[in-house]
């Protein structure tokens, strides 16, 4: 028996607060809407207000519920408390059979805890990824471990992530290897851009002036553990790379003043470096597709680079995505300027090394993760409805 629309077991609350969460949850939202027995509801906490809105606009979506919790210079503890109380209030007012959270953000952790307190099952999208270092990434490693300890449904992107879950505390949770919904979003966006010349032309107009004779290096850096000295070292490395004269660097700056301030002071106005405002999702996919190389401390680009056949240098010492390293497309380089410069030089100056890294790899799935997750949720909701009827 399929769950009845409108019944508690059929109502699924998807919670997002940041741009990466939205990008990876929206393919799942679309898939859940295709299931007549399910009633998905999208809630925004507003953890990253403007960047979240950019992601929603790229998919032509809007939130059903919006807590609007963004505040300038927000402290992690204050944000956690506001998300916890805000989501708890929603769960008191409305009935849901399942709360879905994504990844490792403060929004995911607080929303999962609110659902746990309300005795509502939690589903964790992108479960099981581990760096095994609570300081890196900080505080994300603790967030994802805690969410998995509470989750009834754990959607692991890879078999390695599932193995991590099987070794941990929560033996009662159901673990499914699904792939990563971020690859669903990426492949869909890339196909959309490739098939629409007018769209591609509009995206190109949103970019800084790019020199076709220079290779493009795309940078993202915003991790909390890199703020301060780490970010300064990254800036030093980028200045030296730009000084080669044969590359151009585009860095869409995060809204966090602790990122923007140092980057603008140290790199603003330097030849060959474009420090730009945060790009929309489609703009970012267009830019990555044209890059020779990606430098990042982001988890998402570690997944997206291999799918786009783009070498990725990770500006961290550890990663929770060892599957990306195993492809040879992704390499850890940390924040030491000499190490970063050497890795960039090897890829840009050694054709064989570049060819070995610039190849397609899909360790995080084939673009069907949302369908697999929706299938599992549909089965779970139907079983819950049967149990409720029998009671």
Catalytic site residue from 192, 224, 266, 290? 224
The secondary element (H helix, E strand) that includes residue 256 is: none
Annotation says 104 is catalytic: yes
Distance CA 204, CA 293 (A): 18
Q: Which residues contact 209 (CB under 8 A, 6 or more apart)?
A: none
Peptide bond into 158 cis (omega under 30): no
Annotation says 50 is catalytic: no
Catalytic site residue from 21, 126, 225, 323? 126
Name residues of the chain where pLDDT drops below 50.
1-6
Catalytic site residue from 21, 140, 225, 236? 140
Annotation says 48 is catalytic: no
HSE-up (13 A, CA, CB side) for residue 337: 13
* Distance in angstroms between the alpha carbons of the first and the last residue of the chain: 15
Annotation says 126 is catalytic: yes
pLDDT given for residue 48 in this prediction = 66
Write out pLDDT tens, residues 124-165: 999 999 999 999 888 999 999 999 999 999 999 999 999 999
Angle between helices 181-194 and 19-33 (to 10 degrees): 90
pLDDT given for residue 70 in this prediction = 75
For the question of whether the overall pTM of this predicted structure is more than 0.75, the answer is: yes
Sign of the CA dihedral running 122, 125, 130, 136: negative
pLDDT, the chain, mean: 92
Annotation says 66 is catalytic: no
Catalytic site residue from 11, 35, 82, 104? 104
Distance of alpha carbon 42 from the chain centroid: 17
**Percent of the chain residues topping a pLDDT of 90:** 81
Distance CA 251, CA 254 (A): 9
Sign of the CA dihedral running 13, 18, 22, 25: negative
Q: Which of 309, 294, 269 is nearest to 219 (CA)?
A: 294
Distance CA 95, CA 13 (A): 9
DSSP string, 27-51: HHHHHHHT-TT-EEEEEE--TTHHH
Q: Where are the domains of the chain?
A: 8-179+368-390, 202-357
pLDDT given for residue 171 in this prediction = 83
Tell me the chain's radius of gyration from C-alpha atoms.
21
In CATH terms, the fold of domain 8-179+368-390 is: Rossmann fold (3.40.50)
Q: Which of 190, 263, 252 is nearest to 217 (CA)?
A: 252
Q: For 221-272, list the strands marked E by DSSP.
A: 247-252
Write out pLDDT tens, residues 136-145: 888 999 999 9
In CATH terms, the fold of domain 202-357 is: Rossmann fold (3.40.50)
Q: Which of 240, 220, 231 is nearest to 51 (CA)?
A: 220
Same fold for the pair 8-179+368-390 and 202-357:
yes
């Amino acid at each position: 028996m399929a769950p009845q629309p409108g019944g508690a077991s059929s109502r699924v609350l998807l919670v997002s607060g940041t741009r990466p969460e939205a990008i990876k949850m929206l393919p799942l939202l679309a898939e859940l809407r295709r299931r007549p027995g399910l009633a998905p509801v999208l809630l925004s906490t507003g953890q990253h207000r403007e960047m979240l809105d950019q992601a929603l606009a790229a998919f032509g979506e809007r939130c059903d519920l919006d807590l609007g919790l963004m505040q300038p210079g927000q402290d992690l503890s204050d944000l956690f408390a506001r998300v916890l109380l805000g989501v708890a209030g929603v769960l008191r007012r409305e009935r849901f059979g399942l709360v879905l959270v994504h990844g490792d953000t403060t929004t995911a952790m607080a929303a999962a805890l609110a659902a746990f307190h309300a005795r509502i099952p939690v589903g964790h999208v992108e479960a099981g990824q581990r760096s095994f270092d609570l300081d890196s990434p900080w505080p994300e490693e603790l967030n994802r471990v805690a969410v998995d300890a509470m989750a009834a449904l754990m959607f692991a992107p890879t078999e390695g992530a599932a193995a991590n879950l099987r070794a941990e505390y929560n033996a009662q949770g159901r673990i499914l290897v699904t792939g990563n919904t971020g690859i669903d979003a990426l492949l869909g966006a890339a196909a959309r851009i490739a098939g629409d010349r007018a769209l591609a032309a509009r995206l190109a107009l949103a970019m800084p002036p790019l020199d076709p004779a220079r290779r493009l290096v795309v940078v993202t850096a915003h991790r909390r553990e890199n703020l301060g000295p780490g970010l300064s070292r990254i800036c030093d490395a980028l200045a030296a790379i730009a000084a080669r004269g044969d590359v151009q660097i585009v860095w869409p700056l995060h809204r966090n003043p602790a990122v923007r301030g140092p980057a603008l002071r140290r790199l603003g106005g330097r030849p060959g470096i474009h420090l730009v405002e945060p790009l929309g999702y489609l703009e970012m996919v267009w830019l990555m597709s044209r890059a020779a190389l990606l430098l990042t401390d982001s988890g998402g680009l570690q997944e997206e680079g291999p799918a786009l056949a783009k070498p990725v240098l990770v500006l961290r010492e550890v990663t929770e995505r060892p599957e990306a390293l195993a492809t040879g497309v992704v390499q850890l380089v940390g924040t030491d300027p000499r190490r970063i410069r050497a890795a960039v030089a090897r890829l840009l100056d050694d054709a064989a090394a570049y060819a070995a890294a610039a190849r397609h790899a899909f360790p995080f799935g084939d673009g069907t993760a949302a369908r697999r997750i929706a299938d599992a949720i549909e089965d779970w909701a139907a079983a819950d409805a049967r149990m409720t009827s029998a009671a």
